[in-house]
Amino acid sequence: MSESLAAVVGGVEAFLLDFDGPVCDLFPSGSGSRIGDGVRTPILAAGIAMPEPIASTVEHLRVLRYAAEHAAEVLDEVEQAAVQGEIEAARTAPITPGAADFLAACARTGRPVVIISNNAAAAIELFLDCHDLTGLVTPVLGRPYARPELMKPDPFNATQALRLLDRGPASCCMIGDEPTDVQFAHNAGLSSIAYAKSPRHEAALREVAPHALTQSMSAVTACL
């Protein structure tokens, strides 16, 4: 299924772009542990038991999914803690090398970019504002509030994006750094480019058969 990066990019009229990964490193070097604790606090306070993997994970969105299924009465508080933690992280998150040039090149070549993220839109908008990138992205579609079941790989946000872009899926391409981004693209009929931020991420990404894989955002820009 893998094609050359240039062949995939050549047919793209609009991009759907993941945030944490291709645009920034939202939780650099294990800084997710604080937000992990933050989202667990309302569940613990309500006296609701968590299995060990959820009780110790730094992946706060796993906790959010758990809350939706097992702690519905505190889901709103858990979501709010997730949003606040992401906003805090966005203030200092380092930008991904080549991300700003990629967005500028998309604007220059008339390709709209919609951010599609499992993070909160407020955190993403803050980051874009801090880096003077707001005008290059229209719009930002973040995690549907307190509806974690609609996060990628569910195609919910693809439907919204394609409607806003007024395009069919065949001319649109998803770029993301997680297997779920590629699965999301498959589910929505989009082409996909997996962004492997390091060689150790490549095997898991190849397993879900992206149309192309890249190690750098600059390599995508070079194909525009």
CB nearer to Mg ion: pick between 21 and 112: 21
**Least distance to Mg ion, CB of residue 47, Å:** 33
142 binds Mg ion (CB under 5 A): no
CB nearer to Mg ion: pick between 20 and 154: 20
Collapsed DSSP state (helix, strand, coil) of residue 169: helix
**Least distance to Mg ion, CB of residue 16, Å:** 12
Task: Write the binding mask 157 to 186 for Mg ion: x where contact by CB under 5 A, - elsewhere.
Answer: --------------------xx--------
Task: Kindly report the backbone phi and psi dihedral angles of residue 38, in degrees, each rounded to the nearest multiple of 5, phi listed first.
Answer: -60, -45
Collapsed DSSP state (helix, strand, coil) of residue 75: helix
Give the residue at shortest CB distance from Mg ion: 21
CB nearer to Mg ion: pick between 42 and 118: 118
Nearest residue to 17 (alpha-carbon basis) of 126, 125, 123, 99: 99
CB count within 10 Å of CB 160 equals 15
Task: Write the binding mask 20 to 49 for Mg ion: x where contact by CB under 5 A, - elsewhere.
Answer: xx----------------------------
CB nearer to Mg ion: pick between 74 and 191: 191
**Least distance to Mg ion, CB of residue 156, Å:** 17
Which residue is associated with the tokens 């195609």? 155
Scanning 13-21, 37-45, 51-59, 156-164 for contacts with Mg ion by CB under 5 A, the matching segment is 13-21
**Least distance to Mg ion, CB of residue 86, Å:** 12
Residue pair 24/17 in contact by the 8 Å Cβ criterion: no
Where in the chain does DSSP place strands (E)? 14-17, 113-116, 140-141, 172-176, 191-195, 212-214
Preceding amide of 153 cis, omega within 30: yes
Task: Kindly report the backbone phi and psi dihedral angles of residue 193, in degrees, each rounded to the nearest multiple of 5, phi listed first.
Answer: -125, 120
Binding site for Mg ion (CB under 5 A): 18, 20-21, 177-178
